[in-house]
Structure 1
Amino acid sequence: VRKVSQGSTLEDLLDALLSGELVFLIDGYCEFLSVDAYSPEGRAVTEPTSQSIVKGPKEAFTEKLGINIALIRKRIRDKALRSEYLTLGTRTKTKVVLMYIDGLAKKEIIDEVRRRLNAIQIDGILETGYIEELVKDNRYSIFPTSLNSEKPDTVAGCLLEGKAAIFVDGTPFVLTVPALFAEFFQASEDFYHLYHISTLVRLFRYMALALSMFVPALYIVLAAFRQEMIPTPLLISMLAQREGVPFPTTVEVLMMEVVFEILREAGIRMPRVIGPAISIVGALVLGQAAVEAGIISAVIVIIVSITAISSFAIPNYGMANSARIVRFIMIIIASEFGLMGIFLGTIALFLELCRLKSVGVPYMSPFAPKAKTAVKDTLLRFPMWKSAARPEGISADTSPRVNAQDIVTAKQKQQPEFK
C-alpha cells in the first residue's frame, strides 16, 4: 500500500476508481477511504537503453512511477527529500511528481516550477515531452532547456545540486530543471572516473559539437569561395575528384546529409537487431555507389561521415538534434554568404544561447553571467576537492559539498614519524 487518502465528493470517488485504487464505503458515512494498492504489470528495472555507460550503476527507470521514486529514495536517504503529487490531463488523469530536496533547492525555482505545472491545461499527458514543451521558457528555441534522463544516478546528482525533478507515470524518462548548456555535455560517468580522463572526454565532446555544426559549412566555403586557403596538393586532389560531378558543392553536401539523416531515422525505426546494420552498411554502400557513379566526390562522403560520427559523440540526444538543425542552417548560410556568413551565423548562435533561460536561470551560466565557483565543473572537471561548491543561482545551500582537505590533513597528522 503506497497511499491512503480520504474523499467526500463524487468526483474524488470516480478519480480513485479510474486510477485503480481500492475504495471503502461505509453505510451511514458521507466520506470514503481510497487505498492505492494498484500494482500493474510492467517492465522490470533493466540497463539504460539510451544512455550507455562503461562504469557506474546500470539501473534505469521504468514505466512505473512508484518504482522510479523508490530508485531515487534508495540513493538519497534524506528526510528533506520532498515528493509533491499532481494530476495533469483532463482525460488521462496522469500522475506527476515534483521532487526536490528541501533546503538545497531554491524556493523561488520550486515555486516557479510548481506554478507552471499547475498552469498546464491539456486533455492528456502521455510522456515527459509534453511537459518539457509546455513549461519551456523560450518556446520557439531549438535548444533543450530541461535535461531528460532515464538514469537514477543522474537524476539523484541533479537533486543534490539543488535542482527539481519531474516524474511522469508511464514513462522511464525524468525531467530535471534548471538545465544549463554545459550540462548537456556531461555524463554521470564523468564522476566515476579520475578527473584527468573526464576532462579530456569533455573537451572531445565540445569538439564533436563544433565539428557536427560547422564542418560541412566550412567545406562549402573553402571549396566554392576560398580555394586559395586550401594547400595546393590537397586542392589538386579535390579538383580531380570533382571532375565529372554534375552538381555544385552545396547540392552535394545537402544530398548526402539528407540521405544520411534518412538512413539514421530508418535505423532507429527498424528492429534493434538489423537497425544499426542498415544505417552503417547503407551509408557505406550508397556513398561508394554514388562516388563510382560520379554523382558526388569522395571527399563529400568523408565530410558527412565526420559530421555524423561527431554528432554521435554528444551525450544528450536533444542537444544532438539541435546540432543537426544548426548544421543545415549553417550550410545554407555558407552557400549564400560565404565565410562572413559563417562568422555572423556563429555570433547569432551565441547571442541566442545567451538569451535563453531555464526556469528563469540563464542558460549559459556560469559563463554568462560568470560564476567562478561553478566554472570548475563545466568545460573541465576539476578534482572534487576543488569543485566542492554547488551551482550559484540554483542551490539555496552555499556550504561545500566535499571537505576533502580535512581528510588529507588528518591523514598526514596520523602518519608515524620515522627517524
Structure 2
Amino acid sequence: MNQFRKRKMLHQLKKTGSLPSYHKEDVVSPDITTNEQILKAVFKNCSDFVIRPIQLNSETKVLLVYVDGLVDTKALDELVLKPMMFEGLPDHVRTMGQALGRQLVATAQVKTVLKISELVDDVLKANVAILVDGETTALIADLKGFEKRGVEEAASEVTIRGPRDGFTECLRTNTTLLRRRIRSTRLKLEAFTVGELSQTDIAIAYIEGIAPDSLLAEVRTRINRIQIDGILESEYLEEFIEDVPFSPFPQIQNTERPDVVAANLLEGKIAIMVDNTPFALIIPMTFWSGLQAVEDYYERPIYTTFIRFIRFILLNISQFLPSIYVALTTYHPQLIPTGLLVSVIAARETVPFPAIIEALIMEFMFEGLREAGIRLPKPVGSAVSIVGALVIGQAAVQAGIVSAPMVIVVATTGIASFAIPRYNFGTAFRLIRFAMLLLAGALGFYGIVVGFIALTIHLVNLRSFGVPYFSPVAPQIPGNLKDIVIRAPRWAFNYRPVFFSSWNKKRIPKGQKPGSK
C-alpha cells in the first residue's frame, strides 16, 4: 500500500470510524504500525478497546487486540501471553501458520483472517486478535470471558414435575442444553447473523430427516431478508417472520425451556435461538399448542385429559362470561331465572351506569391491577395486587359505582384467564374480550354470535408458515387428534403430526401397550 492510499484511508477512518465501502485493500498490512493506526481509528472513543504491544526475541513485534470485559484476561495471560513471551517464536518460524503448527497459542478455537473488517468483527465477538509484524494474516483466538447468568429454572413456565433447567442469555449455553437432550448428528444448528450494528448470532435448530425441507427453506428465506440495525430480543425477529402481523394471536411459539424445544423438534418443527435472550422461537405454531402446558407431558394421561377439559372450559369462561352477563341484563332479562333476576336487579338498583359501562370500568381496573402487579417489585407486587383488588372492589360496591354481581363476574373471568398456559396466547383473548363486550352491549346475544363467527373464521383462515392454525381440527386429520383435548398415552403416539414432518413420519412402533403377561 503506497503512502497516498494509506493517508487517504486513515483520513476516512478518522471521519467515519469505519473502513470505506469502496476500499479494495481491506487487508492486514505487513506493517504493524499501519495496522495499529487503522484499528485505533476504527475503535476511536472506545474506552474498553485494548491494544497491547509485545516484543518477541528482541526483534519481532506483536499486537494483542481485544475488548476489555468480553475476554477472559486470566486465560489470555495463561494461554497466550506466557507461551509467547517465555517461549517466543521458534527458530526459522516467521509465519502464523507455522506458529500455529508449533502450538504457541494454547487455545481450543483459533483461526486466521486476512481482512481488517473480519478482524474487527471477531474482536467485537469477544475474541482476541494477534498481529505479527511482517505478516499479512492475523490470528483470532477464542477467549470469551464475559459475565453471564447461570442455568436456572424457567421463570415463565414453572412446573411441578419435569426438568428444572432453562435457557440463558448465552446462545452457546442454550445449544449445549439442547445437545444434552438430542445426542444425534441429525440435530442441526445452522448459524446466521442478523443486525447491521448488533451483529446478533442466531441458530436454527432442526432434526434432519424429520423437519420438512420446504419449511426449512421458508425459514431461511424469511431470516435472510431481514434488514435492521439491531436484534435485541427474539421478539424483534418474530415480528419480521410471522405470516399475519396484525392478528391478535401469536403465530410463533416462544419458550425458555430446552425440553419443550427438544419435544417440538422431535415432532418436525424448527426452533430459532437468538443470542442475548433466553426465549427460543418454535415454528410453526397452532391454536392447540397455545393451550398445552409443559406438565401435560409429565403427568399421567388420564389426569392430563381431565385438566385439559377444565382448561378449555375456563378459556370459554374468560372469553364470554362478561359479554353474556351484559347481554342478559341489558337485552334478554327474560332468560334469567326469576329468583336470580330479582337479586341482580336489587344489586344494580343504585348503580348509575348501564351494564356495558360497568363491565368496561371493572375490566379496565382489573387489567390495571394485573399490569401493576407485574411491574412492581416481586416482594410487594402480589400483595399490592390482592389488597388493591379487595379494597377497590369492596369500596366500589359500597359506593354504588358497580354492583356485586359484576365484581363476581369480572373476578371469575380474571381467574379463568390465568389458566391459559402461555402468556402471549392469553393476551390475545384479553383483547378479544373487550371486543365481545362492545358487541354484547350493542347487539346482545346477536353481537356475541357475530363476534364468535368472525373469530372462528379468522382462526380457521390463519396460517403459521403455511400450516393451518386450527389443524388438525380444521382441516380435520383423525390420526393427529390424540393430543388436542385429550392426551393419549405415550405408546399411542405412533406417527408425527402430518403438517410438521417430512417423509419420516413414524415415531413409535405399534404394539407397545403395557399389560400383564
TM-score (norm 2): 0.77
- The CA distance in 1 between the partners of 2:170 and 2:469, in whole Å, is 31
Matched, 1:352 2:458: yes
In structure 1, the residue matched to 2:331 is 225
In structure 1, the residue matched to 2:382 is 276
- The CA distance in 1 between the partners of 2:142 and 2:123, in whole Å, is 10
In structure 1, the residue matched to 2:216 is 110
Q: 2:257 aligns with which of 151, 167, 173?
A: 151
Task: Check the 8 A contact 1:2/1:37 in 2, yes or no.
Answer: no
Deviation digits for residues 185-213 of structure 1 (CA, Å, limit 9, x no counterpart): 11221111110011111122222211111
1:72-221 matches, within 5 Å, as 72-221=178-327
Task: Check the 8 A contact 1:168/1:174 in 2, yes or no.
Answer: yes
In structure 1, the residue matched to 2:473 is 367
Q: 2:154 aligns with which of 48, 58, 68?
A: 48
Aligned residues: 411
In structure 1, the residue matched to 2:62 is none
- Alpha-carbon offset, residue 39 of structure 1: 3.0
Deviation digits for residues 40-65 of structure 1 (CA, Å, limit 9, x no counterpart): 21111111111111111111111111
Moved more, 284-293 or 380-389: 380-389
Distance change in 2, residues 1:283/1:39 (3 Å) = same
Distance change in 2, residues 1:5/1:372 (3 Å) = farther
- Alpha-carbon offset, residue 27 of structure 1: 4.8
Distance change in 2, residues 1:324/1:248 (3 Å) = same
- The CA distance in 2 between the partners of 1:3 and 1:215, in whole Å, is 60
- Alpha-carbon offset, residue 332 of structure 1: 0.6
Matched, 1:265 2:367: no
Matched, 1:61 2:167: yes
- Larger radius of gyration, structure 1 or 2? 2
Matched, 1:16 2:122: yes
- Alpha-carbon offset, residue 408 of structure 1: 4.3
- The CA distance in 2 between the partners of 1:4 and 1:81, in whole Å, is 25
Deviation digits for residues 116-171 of structure 1 (CA, Å, limit 9, x no counterpart): 11111111100011111110100111100111101111111111111111111111
* Larger RCO (CA within 8 A; separation ≥ 6): 1
- The CA distance in 1 between the partners of 2:204 and 2:132, in whole Å, is 33
Task: Check the 8 A contact 1:373/1:387 in 2, yes or no.
Answer: no
Moved more, 246-255 or 397-406: 397-406
Matched, 1:310 2:381: no
Matched, 1:390 2:496: yes
Task: Check the 8 A contact 2:492/2:510 in 1, yes or no.
Answer: no
- The CA distance in 1 between the partners of 2:505 and 2:265, in whole Å, is 15
Identity of aligned residues (%): 44
Deviation digits for residues 52-107 of structure 1 (CA, Å, limit 9, x no counterpart): 11111111111111111111111110111111111111111111111111111011
Secondary structure at 1:87 match in 2: strand
Deviation digits for residues 318-374 of structure 1 (CA, Å, limit 9, x no counterpart): 110001001001001111111111111101101101111111111111112221221
Q: RMSD of the alignment, in Å?
A: 1.6
- Alpha-carbon offset, residue 307 of structure 1: 0.8
Distance change in 2, residues 1:51/1:213 (3 Å) = same
Task: Check the 8 A contact 2:255/2:261 in 1, yes or no.
Answer: yes
Q: Which amino acid aligns with 1:236?
A: V
- The CA distance in 1 between the partners of 2:341 and 2:109, in whole Å, is 71
Q: Which amino acid aligns with 2:123?
A: L
Q: Which amino acid aligns with 1:138?
A: V
- The CA distance in 2 between the partners of 1:184 and 1:5, in whole Å, is 44
- Alpha-carbon offset, residue 8 of structure 1: 2.7
In structure 1, the residue matched to 2:176 is 70
Secondary structure at 1:405 match in 2: coil
Moved more, 64-73 or 34-43: 34-43
Distance change in 2, residues 1:333/1:352 (3 Å) = same
Task: Check the 8 A contact 1:45/1:59 in 2, yes or no.
Answer: yes
- The CA distance in 2 between the partners of 1:345 and 1:6, in whole Å, is 62
Q: Which amino acid aligns with 2:352?
A: P
In structure 1, the residue matched to 2:433 is 327
Deviation digits for residues 269-320 of structure 1 (CA, Å, limit 9, x no counterpart): 0001111111122111100110011110001111111111111100000110
Matched, 1:236 2:342: yes
Q: Which runs of 5+ in 1 are unaligned?
A: 413-419
Runs of 4+ in 1 over 3 A off after TM superposition: 1-7, 24-33, 406-409
Distance change in 2, residues 1:22/1:404 (3 Å) = farther
Q: Which amino acid aligns with 1:170?
A: N
- Alpha-carbon offset, residue 407 of structure 1: 6.8
Q: Which amino acid aligns with 2:278?
A: P
Matched, 1:246 2:347: no
